[in-house]
């Protein structure tokens, strides 16, 4: 049997590359920055976090805000004592 006959495309592994901006940003700045990096799509979270998504990612990459410095410290809605 030839190796090519047993090839299953669902078993091939492709890297999904995502890039998170450290700082909070506006939706428009997120879009512009991601386009400049060559990302094929982007996701802007309501806390201001921006995720640039590579072409091999399914469903826009990771559905979670993971920016290091966003939301900015002190911007949470915790009650004060």
Consecutive sets of 10 residues in the chain, 81 residues long: mean pLDDT of each?
46 81 96 96 95 88 89 58 42
pTM score of the predicted model: 0.70
Residue 37 backbone class (left: φ over 0; alpha: ψ -120 to 50; beta: rest): alpha
Q: Residue 4: its pLDDT value, please? A: 43
Q: How far is Cα 17 from Cα 36, in angstroms, rounded to an integer?
A: 15
Q: How far is Cα 42 from Cα 31, in angstroms, rounded to an integer?
A: 7
| Helices (H) then strands (E): counts for the chain | 1, 3
The H-or-E segment that residue 50 falls in is strand 50-53
């Amino acid at each position: 049997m030839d190796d090519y006959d047993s090839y299953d495309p669902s078993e091939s592994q492709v890297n999904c590359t995502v890039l998170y901006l450290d700082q909070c940003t506006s939706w428009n700045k997120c879009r512009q920055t991601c386009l400049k990096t060559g990302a094929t799509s982007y996701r802007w979270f309501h806390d201001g976090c921006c995720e640039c998504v590579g072409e091999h990612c399914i469903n826009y990459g990771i559905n979670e805000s993971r920016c290091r410095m966003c939301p900015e410290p002190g911007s949470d809605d915790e009650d004060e004592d």
